Amino acid sequence: MSDGDPKLQDLNRDRVGHEGKRLTTDQGVSVEHTDDALTAGDRGPTLIEDFHFREKLTRFDHERIPERVVHARGAGAYGTFTCTESLADVTRADFLSEAGRQTPVFVRFSTVAGSRGSADTVRDVRGFATKFYTREGNYDLVGNNMPVFFIQDGIKFPDFVHAVKPEPQNEIPQASSAHDTLWDFVSLQPETTHMIMWLMSDRALPRSYRTMQGFGVHTFRFINAEGRGTFVKFHWRPMLGTHSLVWDEVQKIAGADPDFNRRDLWEAIEAGSGPEYELGVQLVPEDREHDFDFDLLDATKIIPEEDVPLRVVGRMVLDRNPDNFFAETEQVAFHTANVVPGIDFTNDPLLQARNFSYLDTQLIRLGGPNFAQLPVNRPLAEVHHHQRDGYGQHRIDVSPVSYHPNSIAGGCPALASFDEAAFRHYTERVDGAKIRKRSESFKDHYSQATLFWNSMSDWEKQHIVDAFRFELGKVQRPHIRERVVQNLAHVDHELASQVAGGLGLPAPPAATSNHGRSSPALSQDRQPQSAATRKVAVLAADGVDAGSLRPVLDSLHRLGAVCEVLAPHGGELDGGIEVDRPMLTMASVLYDAVLVGGGAESVRSLLNNGAALRYVAEAFKHAKPVAAVGEGVELLREAPLNDVRISEDGLVVDAGVVTLASPGENGLDAFSDSLAAAISGHRHFDRRLELVPA
């Protein structure tokens, strides 16, 4: 077919390149500013007359049908929220007004960047969205597992998501930030720096949705019965502590079980060990709004807990899995503007954009305006209004009127009286010139990134450096790598130098001096410890010493650990030890710890099994607890485990490796206790790992 063929010309006539062109609207109107929405004053609310902002967000919201543009891959569960401390002094919200009051909830966890078919364990932000079915209507706390975000103004959201999505020419890489367009964007947008530090940390690799924090991100506003406002930030804290995976591990899990996190949530709930979280709030009186060295309306900033301590006010337990993934988890619709009396917004420009964007997105994704009638979205509070018809209408309205005011239906549904629990917006003076300008109080992009870096333990810092080296090592354009390293020099010179060294770049000059401040609450180094729900791979074969193994398993079971016996074959081993799974169908990365049973014949079989040696070596490399009893210690010697002491006779505990070569009744008790303590500690980064084979 020649270039002059009319059919080929028709196919290509809509191909458009942007090289050397000016940015315009859909109507061809030139645009001179696209980084800030139109607001009333530099800290005022976003104005709906900003047609460029609305067009940009609307077009972005409607880019995918029917999959969510972001947060496409998720898992959900039902549960109950219980208020444990009344907040009636600061909010009218009924579900927070009385200790002991229970409210049904639905929670959806998700990754952000990948499609529905991507893996669970990618390096990414995680969504943590909670729908409270309160007596006053539905309240949606739509959060993430990180307390800050990449951008300050929602008009930049399409740009950021387009940058982090796969490259447009080949749809590669899937669910990954390790590519040129993302790093080109963030290196040109210093406001992303704080969030990028979180993304490069282990917070982007959660072990489980059950061990993952959640944050409301924005500063919201509580309003009490007297109309007084209080700024509030929301925190979910997992009762099991906040724990993560490591990078080498998550890549292997993506192959061994791409459904790792959603499977973990489902199985834990089915086993009666569903996740539990505390709800905490940080409260700031309005007269303290400007007491900080950052702006409370800036979504790229946290309020350090050392400055405003967390007040724990509730507890949430997830205890029921959905009956149908599509009908519930996929069709659930969250919206930041779904609020109840006593909770209101601030002028955070990112929050204001979300308040527009979520509803707009649901209209196209769920096929029309009646998605709130779907069972998972339907409020428990009665619904009475004059909205009619439209796609997906399930209500059969029998009222003769559909307008207000009316006399035919006696004026019903009637308006609430002033003293009833109706929603009333917070009374706030708003004025200012119509401008596109970022507030000067939003201009510090580095001090909290430095605060985060200073708050990390040595092993957390090393993981951040390694993450930057990996991600930037995937970037093909040298000038992007160089620009990121130069930007990191504003965070910490040692960080920038280590990243540069790993990329073969010269260390950049120090841009600013490190302020030295830290917030210990940001580190994962000290977390609640428990063996409950931890998964232990128990390696055994025919001839296993059931007499020494069974008491250990019984002890771990009593603590709530999940022990699965893996053997070269299915069925049953000596001493009535049931095999849960053939060893080759699983992998060490799917477990939190590895335990090798005793018995000479069993250990000989395992020593001849490459998979068994790989389980031990890989678990050790990933800093997991490794243990062996009786002759099982021989397998650990063969692994090998670098510079770790292994029992010759009595109990030895070294860097999360627990061994007992000569078990006796009393010795088994001490071995079980030591193993439980090692498992409760999650990971043991005090061991030497660099020479352990992959």
Residues assigned a catalytic role: 71, 144
Please name the amino acid found at residue 660: L
Please name the amino acid found at residue 246: V
Nearest alpha carbon to residue 219 among 231, 207, 236, 235: 231
Q: How far apart are CA 29 and CA 50, in angstroms?
A: 13
Residue corresponding to tokens 């990971």? 683
3 state SS of 52 = helix
Residues 604 and 613 sit within 8 Å (Cβ to Cβ): no
For 521-551, give the secondary structure using H, E and C: HHCCCCCCCCCCCCEEEEECCCCCCHHHHHH
In the 8-state DSSP scheme, what is residue 628? E
User: In terms of DSSP bridges, do strands 626-629 and 593-596 run parallel, antiparallel, or are they unpaired?
Assistant: parallel
Residues 564 and 539 sit within 8 Å (Cβ to Cβ): no
Backbone angles phi, psi at 368, to 5 degrees: 140, -175
Residues 671 and 658 sit within 8 Å (Cβ to Cβ): yes
In this structure, the number of other CB atoms found within 10 A of the CB of residue 650 comes to 13
Displacement of CA 459 from its chain's centroid (Å): 21
Residues 147 and 217 sit within 8 Å (Cβ to Cβ): yes
Backbone angles phi, psi at 548, to 5 degrees: -95, -25
Q: How far apart are CA 210 and CA 239, in angstroms?
A: 8
Q: How far apart are CA 658 and CA 651, in angstroms?
A: 7
In the 8-state DSSP scheme, what is residue 77? E
523: its two tokens: 């580190």
Q: End-to-end distance of the chain based on CA atoms, in angstroms? A: 52
Q: How far apart are CA 27 and CA 22, in angstroms?
A: 13
**Distance (Å) of CA 563 to CA 68, 202, 552, 556, 618:** 37, 26, 10, 8, 18
36: its two tokens: 């800030």
